[in-house]
Chain A
Amino acid sequence: MMKKLAIVVLLAAILFPLCAQQKTVSIWGWRAQDVDVWKGVESALRAKGEQITIKYEVFPPTEYDSKLLVSLQGGVGPDIMYTRRLPGARTQALLDNGYLTPLNGLVDLSNFDAVSLSFISANSKVWGVPFANQIIGIFYNKTIFDKYKLKEPQTWDELVQIAETLKKNGVTPFFVSGKEAWTLAMQNAMVGVSYPGDAWIGKLAAGKAKFTDPEYVGMLKDLNALKKYYQKDFMANTTAEQDVAFAMEQVAMVFYGVWGNTNWLKTNPDFKFDYFPIPPKDKSVPARAYTYMDGAYGLNNVSKNKDAALKVLNYTGTKAYGELFSSITGEITALKGVTMPASKPILVKCYDKMVNIAATNRYWVGSPFDAGTPSVYNILQEDMQTMYLDQTTPEALAKKLQDGISTWFPAFKK
């Protein structure tokens, strides 16, 4: 008996220091595509002699924010958490409850430009390390466009013309995933930056324009009219099905984000596709791309592992990380000065658009209109569905937006 005990004590004495050096950092996020990124980070840190194990947990994107908040309340949150943007109610909730640590002085953020950082800054502090910038718009099948000698449209009417040509030839012009309400809100937002336009949204944010203005109502009407070019029964489809249909070349265009390219290429490695921003109705309005910072890595204020977590976070602020991230996920890193991999032409193109024609005003994620309840996002989620189902009119939707936002949006209140 004593002998056994002695062995146990001895073993513990040997193993304990080893265990103590081995630090585990837990990270929670909504992005399944990042699993390999964190494996890469782990081995990069190991190579630098850091004994850090990274435990990455993925939650369904629609569940993530609530699960995170509830877990943090219960004291069982992660060391590092993915956050969305500011202004934005989901990130604001983390901030208000004191779950995030300001990173100024703790993490070297010199490799990010001011715009990326602005998406996760509040009270002149930075609350997370940005990981990706996204660009949304129309992605199209190059083979189909070439076959019917179609060119990227310069105006909304040209876009409709393209759809008409495709439809006449028996090709489904658009695939829309109406079952996932958020994609319809996103579609509305990406059209908005070009159709009433960037400058108009600027006026809106200043309280000098209204959602009920003819510009916006006209856009809603045109969007609603476009649905005859969507696939049959589009209200029952999900983004997963959209990925398959687009990559299998069953449809010509999708309203989506650059992150989709990974799934498309996984489904069909030979798939040729390209991007264009939504064209404006009026040629005098410039076409703009809706871009936004996708999210950031925040540090849990009550993490017992802050040292190790900061080592991880500091690594995510290096260019080496940016290259790792872009090459594994096929998305655009938030780090500046990282060259997009030439093997992924879509990234090169989108990065170029991001730099040159990004809209400065917006009303979906990362906008002041996302900071209160009901947000533009909340209302669009439900009422884009009802509009497409002919249960509400464009005019009624515009009015609901105007009334809903007026209850809290400062510029609308007075």
Chain B
Amino acid sequence: MRKYSFLWMLFPALLLYTVFIAYPFFSSLGLSFFDWPGIGPKKFIGLANYKNILSGFMASEFYRALWHNIVFFIWSLILSVVPGLFFAFLLAADIKGTKWLKIIFFFPNTLAIVVVGFLWGLLLNPQWGLVNQLFRVLGLGFLAKPWLGDTKTALPTIIFVTAWRGLGFYILVYLAAIIGVDREMTEAARIDGATELQIAGRIILPHLYPIIATTAMLKFIWTFNIFDIVYAMEGTQGGPAGSTDVLGTLFYRIAFGGLGSSQVGMGLGATVVTLIFLVVFPVSIFYVFIVERRVERGE
């Protein structure tokens, strides 16, 4: 057995990971069959929680939140990939002296999401906020809107703020990938008479597809973590009138209460988690599969 004396070094990580990351997903599944306010005896109710959420009294809120997550994912994907690639190419085009630009672009990523939320909340104030004041000064008064108070603009505004914080990350990831493209290939194309735009579009871009796919998958998974930004800018209710409610805030309200709803429903909350998990899991598996394959190949 001495041969395996090294194995103990694996255990702390394995134990912590199992208890606090892996087990909770199974535990949530188990809890989802119970009616339980978090204390006292658990009452087994079979699939009643699922019924309530998918077709019962929670259905409209659940589908609305799910839809908002999907909208969030699609738009923030577009807002990160398109400008991300655009600016990454610009940076790659004339790389000298861009060190400071990289730092500036990346900086918002280091801010806590709540800080970003509070800051933009102040900036987007309809009367005194800098955004509307700037529009008025520029003679674009028609753009001065109650951004966070209108059900039509609130979610897009939050998506924009999230994109503002995250863009630098995508720029730098894509930039690293662009720089990683084999120089000989671009040089060869150049000798063959390709324009710079053709080199970017036809030679380099295809090499970026895998990394774009990876970031898209990560974005999809992260989308289900969204909570802080909505919380900071619109509260746990995802106001106005639920127009920014996402699964994160919905699940927080169900599991841990919130203004107006004093019922703590751990079972119902666990059901929402399990349902989200069912959506995320296939993508997660696929992502891990790809990462694993890439690592294997890298060896």
- Chain B min CB distance to A284 (Å): 35
Minimum Cβ distance to chain A for residue B56 (Å): 12
Partner-contacting stretch, out of A17-25, A65-73, A208-216, A326-334: A65-73
> In the complex, A69→B265 CA distance in Å?
12
Which residues of chain A are near B38, meaning CB under 8 Å?
A: 70, 73
- A181 pairs with B150, CB closer than 8 A: no
Q: A62-B236, A241-B125, A389-B150 given as contacts; is B262 within 8 A of A382 (CB)?
A: no
List the one stretch of A36-44, A230-238, A267-275, A289-297 in contact with chain B: A230-238
CB atoms of B264 and A235 under 8 A apart:
no
Q: In the complex, what's the smallest C-beta–C-beta distance from B119 to chain A, in angstroms? A: 16
Contact A69 B241 (CB under 8 A): no
Residues of B with C-beta under 8 A to A234:
146, 149
Does residue A90 face the partner (Cβ distance < 8 Å to B)?
Answer: yes
* Residue from B125, B127, B241 whose CB has the most chain A CB atoms within 10 Å: B241
Q: In the complex, A389 Cα to B242 Cα: how many Å?
A: 13
Alpha-carbon gap, A134 to B125, bound state (A): 29
A147 and B16 alpha carbons, distance in the complex (Å)? 70
A332-391 with Cβ < 8 A to chain B? 373, 375, 377-378, 381-383, 385-386, 389, 391
Tell me whether A66 and B262 are in contact in the complex, defined as CB-CB below 8 angstroms, given that A232-B126, A233-B126 are known contacts.
yes
In Å, the complex CA distance between A70 and B145 comes to: 38
* A138 at the B interface (CB under 8 A): no
B39 contacts chain A at the CB level, 8 A cutoff:
yes
Interface residues of chain A: helix, strand, loop or mixed (majority): helix
- B-facing residues in A85-124 (Cβ within 8 Å): 89-90, 92-93, 97
Q: List the B side residues contacting A241 at CB < 8 Å.
A: 125, 127-128
Q: A62's contact among B128, B146, B258, B262, by CB below 8 Å, is which?
A: B258
Q: B240 and A381: CB pair below 8 A? A: no
A230-273 interface mask toward B, CB cutoff 8 Å, 1 = contact, 0 = none? Answer: 01111111000100010000000000000000000000000000
Q: Are A245 and B127 in contact (CB under 8 A)?
A: yes
B126 is contacted by which of A66, A97, A237, A375 (Cβ under 8 Å)? A237
Q: Is A179 an interface residue (CB 8 A)?
A: yes
Query: B256 at interface (Cβ–Cβ under 8 A)?
Result: yes
Picked from B124, B236, B262, the residue with its CB within 8 Å of the CB of A69 is B262
Whether a CB of chain A sits under 8 angstroms from the CB of B97 is no
Interface: B237 (CB within 8 A): yes
Least Cβ distance of A176 to chain B in Å?
A: 11
Confirm or deny: B55 has a beta carbon within 8 angstroms of a beta carbon on chain A. no
CB proximity of B157 to chain A, nearest CB, Å: 10
Q: Is B151 an interface residue (CB 8 A)?
A: yes
Answer yes or no: B197 CB below 8 A from chain A CBs. Answer: no
A113 → chain B, closest Cβ, in Å?
27
A126 to B118, alpha carbons, bound, how many Å?
41
| Most chain A Cβ neighbours within 10 Å, of B40, B237, B240, B256 | B240
The answer to whether A182 and B259 touch (CB under 8 A), given A66-B264, A97-B39, A389-B241, is: yes
Q: Hey, which chain B residues are within 8 Å of A279, CB to CB?
A: none
Residues of chain A within 8 A (CB-CB) of B260 are 375, 377-378, 381
Q: Find chain B residues with CB under 8 A from A382 CB.
A: 237, 241-242
Chain B interface residue count, CB cutoff 8 Å, equals 32
Chain B residues within an 8 Å CB radius of A70:
38, 256-257, 264
Chain A CB within 8 A of B147 CB: yes
Complex Cα distance A92/B37, Å? 14
Q: Mark B229-245, 1 if CB is under 8 A from A, else 0.
A: 00000011101111000
Q: How far is the CB of A42 from chain B (nearest CB, A)?
A: 30
Q: A62-B235, A93-B263, A179-B239 are in contact. Are A69 and B257 (CB under 8 A)?
A: yes
Q: Let me know if B110 is at the binding interface, CB within 8 A.
A: no
Most chain B CB within a 10 A radius of its CB, from A61, A179, A373: A179
B5 at the A/B interface (Cβ < 8 Å)?
Answer: no
Interface hits, B118-147 → A, CB 8 Å: 124-128, 145-147
B159 beta carbon closer than 8 Å to chain A: no
Q: Is the CB of A90 within 8 A of B262?
A: yes
B-chain residues with CB within 8 Å of residue A69 when the two chains form the complex: 257, 262, 264
Q: Which of A181, A182, A233, A381 contacts B146 (CB 8 A)?
A: A233
Question: Is A178 part of the binding interface, using a Cβ–Cβ cutoff of 8 Å?
Answer: yes
Interface residues of A in 33-68 (CB under 8 A from B): 61-63, 65-66
Q: Which residues of A contact B261 (CB under 8 A)?
A: 373, 378
Flag if A66 contacts B235 (CB, 8 Å).
Answer: no
B149 and A237: CB pair below 8 A? yes
- Pull 11 A–B residue pairs with CB atoms less than 8 Å apart, ordered by A: A63-B258, A66-B264, A97-B40, A179-B240, A181-B239, A181-B241, A233-B127, A241-B127, A383-B241, A386-B241, A389-B240
Question: Which A positions have Cβ atoms within 8 angstroms of B?
Answer: 61-63, 65-66, 69-70, 73, 89-90, 92-93, 97, 178-179, 181-182, 231-237, 241, 245, 373, 375, 377-378, 381-383, 385-386, 389, 391
Q: Which 8 A-B pairs have the closest CB atoms?
A: A236-B149, A66-B257, A236-B146, A233-B146, A235-B149, A233-B126, A385-B241, A62-B259
